[in-house]
C-alpha cells in the first residue's frame, strides 16, 4: 500500500479549498486561515489548519449515527483518530463516521422560506390530524 | 545492576516497578505537550495517551506496592523515590524534543508495549494479567496513532522527513534496552509471570520495519545500545523531570484535595 507524499503537502493544497463558513465561524484563527487560503499559500504558522471533517457517532448498537461536531485532520484515518480522541473517549460511541465537511451540501438561511414554511399551514400532513377510528386495537 | 533484587518474593515488586516507571515517566513527558500540541486535536490526543499511561502506571505501582508489603502506596513510589530508585527505560526519560522526536519515541515504545502487554495478559500472576488485559487495548490504539504519524511525517514534506529521520537516528541507541535480559527479567520469565524481554524483539522488529518502510525512513544500522535504566543508572534528564513531577507531593506531603 504505497501512499505517495499524501499528507502535509496535500494539506496545503486542501487549505485552498473553500470551506463551509458556518463551520469555521467563531473559531479562533479562522479569519486568518481564510485570508491566507485566499492568497493560495500559507506558511508553517500555527494558523495553517488541516481540512475540516464532520463527525458522526453511533451511541449504541442499532442506533442512528448522530452528528456531534467536527475535527481537523489531514486525511480520513487522522480524522477518525481525532474524532475518537475528542468525542468518543468516555464511552459515548460504539461507531464513528467522519465525512469531509466540504462534501456536505447545506441549505442556506435564505432557503428557509421556500423549503420549510409551506409545511406550516398543511396540518393534514401530520398524522395527529387524523382521528384514529374507535375500535382500532393494537395501533 | 539489579542482581540483589532477584529473590523470588521481590521479583513481582521489581517487575511491576519497571512497568509502572516506564509508563509514569513517559506519561509525564507526553503531558508536557499539553497546551503545546501542533494542533488542538493532536494536543488532546497526546494528553489522552498520557492519561492512559498514567492510569497504567498507577495500576502497576499499586501492584508493586502491595508486593513489597512495606506499607508504601503507589503515590509513595511515584513521588518519594530518588532518581537511582527508578527502573524505567532510558528511552522514556529523554526530553520531549520536537514533535517528530516525541512521535518516534512514542512509536518505539508503543510497538514494544503492545506486544509486552499482549504476552503479559497470559501471565500466571493474576494482578499483572489483569493490568495487561486493560493496557493492551489502549496500546493497540497508541501504536495505531503513533504509526500513522510516523508515516505522515516520514512520507510528508522534506522537512518533516528530515526531522523524523534525525529523531529515529538519535533514539535508536535507546531502543535496545527494551529487549535486554537481566536477573529480574529472567526470574520473572522463569516464574511464568512475564515474557522474557528478548522474546519481544522479533515482533517489535516486524512492526518497526513495516512502519519505517511506509514512512520512507531508513532503519539505523547501529546495534550498540545504551542501558542502565532498569538498574537505576539514568541520564541527567530524569532528575530534572522528577524535580518537577515530585515537587508538589514533596512540598505538601499527605496533602489531599
pLDDT digits (tens, 9 = 90+) for B67-92: 999 999 999 999 999 999 999 999 99
Probe site for chain A from B34, B37, B41 (most A CB atoms < 10 A): B41
Interface of B to A at Cβ within 8 Å reads 39-42, 44-45, 48, 141, 144-145, 148, 151-152, 155-157, 160, 214
Q: Inspect the interface and report whether the beta carbons of B156 and A9 lie closer than 8 Å.
A: yes
Per the DSSP assignment, residues forming a β-bridge with B33 are none
Categorize the per-residue pLDDT at A123 as very low, low, confident or very high, splitting at 50, 70 and 90: confident
**ipTM above 0.85 for this complex:** no
CA dist A29 to A26, A49, B212, Å? 9, 9, 34
Residue B5: inside a domain: no
Residue B109: inside a domain: yes
List the CATH number of the domain containing B76: 1.20.1260.10
For residue A8, which residues of chain B lie inside 8 Å, CB to CB? 152, 156-157, 160
Residue B256: inside a domain: no
* Residue B43, min C-alpha distance to chain A (Å): 10
φ/ψ region of A5 (left if φ > 0, alpha if ψ in -120 to 50, else beta) reads left
Residue B193: inside a domain: yes
Contacts of B40 (CB under 8 A, 6+ apart): A72
B176 CB-contact burial (10 Å; exposed 0-12 / middle 13-18 / buried 19+)? middle
Query: In chain B, how many domains are there?
Result: 1
Written as one string, the DSSP assignment of A32-80 is HHHHHHHTT---SSTT-PPPEEEEEEE-STTPPPEEEEEEE-SSHHHHH
Residue B223: inside a domain: yes
Contacts of A40 (CB under 8 A, 6+ apart): A16
Residue B6: inside a domain: no
For residue B45, which residues of chain A lie inside 8 Å, CB to CB? 81-82, 85
Domain span at B63: 11-251
Contacts of A119 (CB under 8 A, 6+ apart): A125
A50 touches chain B (CB under 8 A): yes
Average pLDDT, chain B: 94
DSSP-based three-state secondary structure for B215 = coil
For residue A89, which residues of chain B lie inside 8 Å, CB to CB? 48
Least confident of A109-113, B33-37, B122-126: A109-113
- At B114, list the grid cell: 503492545
Residue B3: inside a domain: no
For residue A77, which residues of chain B lie inside 8 Å, CB to CB? 148
| Of A119, A33, A22, the residue nearest B39 (C-alpha) | A33
A86 touches chain B (CB under 8 A): yes
pLDDT digits (tens, 9 = 90+) for A7-59: 444 443 344 433 344 344 334 434 333 333 433 333 444 445 789 999 999 99
Residue B166: inside a domain: yes
Q: Inspect the interface and report whether the beta carbons of B156 and A5 lie closer than 8 Å.
A: yes
Amino acid at each position: 500500500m504505497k501512499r505517495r507524499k499524501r499528507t502535509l503537502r496535500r494539506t496545503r493544497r486542501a487549505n485552498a479549498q473553500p470551506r463551509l463558513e458556518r463551520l469555521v465561524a467563531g473559531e479562533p484563527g479562522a479569519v486568518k486561515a481564510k485570508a491566507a487560503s485566499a492568497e493560495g499559500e500559507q506558511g508553517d504558522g500555527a494558523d495553517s489548519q488541516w481540512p475540516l471533517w464532520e463527525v458522526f457517532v453511533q451511541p449504541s448498537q442499532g442506533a442512528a449515527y448522530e452528528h456531534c461536531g467536527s475535527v481537523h485532520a489531514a486525511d480520513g484515518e487522522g480524522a477518525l483518530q481525532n474524532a475518537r480522541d475528542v468525542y468518543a473517549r468516555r464511552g459515548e460511541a460504539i461507531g464513528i463516521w467522519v465525512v469531509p465537511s466540504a462534501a456536505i451540501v447545506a441549505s442556506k438561511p435564505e432557503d428557509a422560506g421556500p423549503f420549510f414554511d409551506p409545511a406550516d399551514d398543511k396540518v393534514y400532513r401530520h398524522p395527529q390530524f387524523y382521528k384514529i377510528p374507535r375500535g382500532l386495537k393494537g395501533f | 545492576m539489579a542482581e540483589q533484587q532477584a529473590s523470588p518474593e521481590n521479583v513481582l515488586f521489581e517487575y511491576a516497578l519497571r512497568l509502572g516507571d516506564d509508563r509514569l515517566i513517559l506519561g509525564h513527558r507526553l503531558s508536557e505537550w499539553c497546551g503545546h500540541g501542533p494542533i488542538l486535536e493532536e494536543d488532546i490526543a497526546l494528553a489522552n495517551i498520557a492519561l492512559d499511561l498514567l492510569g497504567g502506571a498507577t495500576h502497576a505501582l499499586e501492584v508493586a506496592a502491595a508486593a513489597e508489603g512495606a506499607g508504601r502506596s503507589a503515590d509513595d513510589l511515584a513521588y518519594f523515590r530518588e532518581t537511582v530508585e527508578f527502573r524505567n527505560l532510558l528511552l522514556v526519560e529523554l526530553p520531549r524534543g520536537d514533535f517528530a522526536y516525541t512521535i518516534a519515541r512514542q512509536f518505539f515504545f508503543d510497538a514494544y508495549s503492545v506486544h509486552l502487554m499482549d504476552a503479559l495478559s497470559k501471565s500466571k500472576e493474576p494482578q499483572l494479567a489483569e493490568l495487561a488485559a486493560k493496557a493492551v487495548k489502549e496500546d493497540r490504539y497508541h501504536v495505531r496513532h503513533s504509526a500513522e504519524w510516523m508515516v505522515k511525517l516520514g512520507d510528508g514534506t522534506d522537512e518533516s522527513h528530515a526531522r523524523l529521520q534525525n529523531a529515529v537516528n538519535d533514539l535508536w541507541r535507546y531502543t535496545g534496552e527494551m529487549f535486554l535480559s537481566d536477573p529480574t527479567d529472567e526470574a520473572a520469565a522463569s516464574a511464568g509471570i512475564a515474557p522474557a524481554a528478548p522474546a519481544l524483539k522479533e515482533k517489535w522488529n516486524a512492526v518497526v520495519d513495516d512502519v519505517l518502510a511506509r514512512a520512507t525512513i531508513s532503519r539505523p544500522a547501529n546495534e550498540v545500545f545504551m542501558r542502565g535504566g532498569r538498574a537505576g543508572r539514568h541520564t541527567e534528564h530524569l532528575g530534572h523531570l522528577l524535580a518537577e513531577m515530585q515537587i508538589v507531593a514533596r512540598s505538601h506531603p499527605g496533602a489531599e484535595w
